[in-house]
Amino acid sequence: MGIFSKFINSKDVTNQIARDSHLLKVMDDQTVKRMQQTLLEMYKDIKPVCDKYDIKVFLIGGSALGAVRHKGFIPWDDDMDLSMTRKDYEKFKKVFEKELGDKYILNAPNYSAKPCHKYPRILKKDSYYRAIIDSNVEELHRIFMDLFILENTPDNEFIRKIKGTYCNFLYMMSWEVFIWENRNKDVKEFLSSAGKSNYYVRIIIGFLFSFHSSAHWFNKFDKAIQYNNDHSQYCCLATGRKRYFGEIMRREQWLPGVEATFEDEKVRIFTDYDPYLRNLYGDYMVIPPKEKRERHNVCEVRFSHGKDE
């Protein structure tokens, strides 16, 4: 895999490094189950608020795969990914503090003073979670759920290509600045596991664009991916695993969604979920061998401030 491909497919590269790294905490089955229980409790807090304000929330990625294949969590999975349209997300931001602020933090571009990622993240206050590549702001070391915004895209193919290329550039560059700002010996060792060039090229890019903070670039990226046409033919998950061009489908394939079962909850997944999941995972109904399963880059997790895990 070439250097540029490593950046565009950084999720796949990070997963491979994570599987091989000695720096990460391997969650035992009991800890994974407790993480899943915590995430499901978070969802049960968030979903009624969304219903109250007519906000449609979807399970995506591995969570959608879990709903289809396992009727719940993928047994070894330790995260839960949500999505909503940009229009619904704007409503969600306005009511978040009032409805959920006692228990949760919404850390997001163009919302928080110091966003820690390219997309919104809902953090559980009474918890602790530290990853290898993480913000140096201690308050943001929390168990979280990621929120991926479904964006409208231009109907004109040429304009869409220009916009998508610019967004992918900002995606890559903003993250390298974040790595530069939060670099340490563990980050160096972790990223160098995929080859020293993987680390040094990222650091060089991060340094070259560090004339603005990662927060500035995350905000800029968040604005760039937006497109004000709620009737466009296509929509995309620009912050998804395959970036702007890799997760585009026609609007009617995404929306309005269909009902599925996830553990003891009725949830919503995208309408045409089969091509969506095949695009991400191939033959997604086949359970992958243990060595191919995703492993997230967690170093430490506590489910409350008083107890280590």
- Considering 27-31, 111-115, 133-137, the range whose residues carry the highest mean pLDDT is 111-115
Residue 34 exposure: Cα atoms within 13 Å on the Cβ side: 14
Spatial contact of 222 and 110, defined as CB atoms under 8 Å apart: yes
How many angstroms separate the CA atoms of 257 and 267, rounded?
A: 10
Residue 48 exposure: Cα atoms within 13 Å on the Cβ side: 7
Confidence of residue 28 (pLDDT cuts 50, 70, 90): confident
> Across all residues in the chain, what is the average pLDDT?
91
Kindly tell me if the per-residue pLDDT of 100 is higher than 70. Answer: yes
Domain ranges of the chain: 3-302
Q: Which residues pair with 227 in a beta bridge?
A: none
3-state DSSP assignment of residue 309: coil
Spatial contact of 268 and 58, defined as CB atoms under 8 Å apart: yes
Instruction: Give the mean pLDDT of 47-55.
Output: 98
Residue 135, classified by CB atoms within 10 Å of its CB into exposed (0-12), middle (13-18) or buried (19+), is: buried
- Kindly report the pTM of this predicted structure: 0.90
Spatial contact of 177 and 203, defined as CB atoms under 8 Å apart: no
Kindly tell me if the per-residue pLDDT of 269 is higher than 60. Answer: yes
Spatial contact of 216 and 113, defined as CB atoms under 8 Å apart: no
Which amino acid does the sequence have at 242?
K
Confidence of residue 309 (pLDDT cuts 50, 70, 90): very low
At residue 120's C-alpha, the angle toward residues 179 and 81, to 5°, is 100
Instruction: Give the mean pLDDT of 37-55.
Output: 98
More confident residue, 296 or 17: 296
What integer pLDDT is reported at residue 194 of this predicted model? 79
More confident residue, 22 or 44: 44
What integer pLDDT is reported at residue 12 of this predicted model? 52
Spatial contact of 24 and 298, defined as CB atoms under 8 Å apart: yes
Distances in Å between the Cα of 305 and the Cα atoms of 133, 142, 143, 167, 172 are 21, 10, 11, 38, 34
Confidence of residue 232 (pLDDT cuts 50, 70, 90): very high
Closest listed residue to residue 193, CA positions, set 116, 295, 289: 295
Confidence of residue 217 (pLDDT cuts 50, 70, 90): very high
Strands, E assignment, the chain: 58-59, 81-85, 104-107, 121-124, 128-131, 144-152, 234-236, 248-250, 258-262, 265-269, 298-302
Instruction: Give the mean pLDDT of 149-159.
Output: 98
Instruction: Give the mean pLDDT of 217-226.
Output: 98
Token representation of residue 1: 């895999």
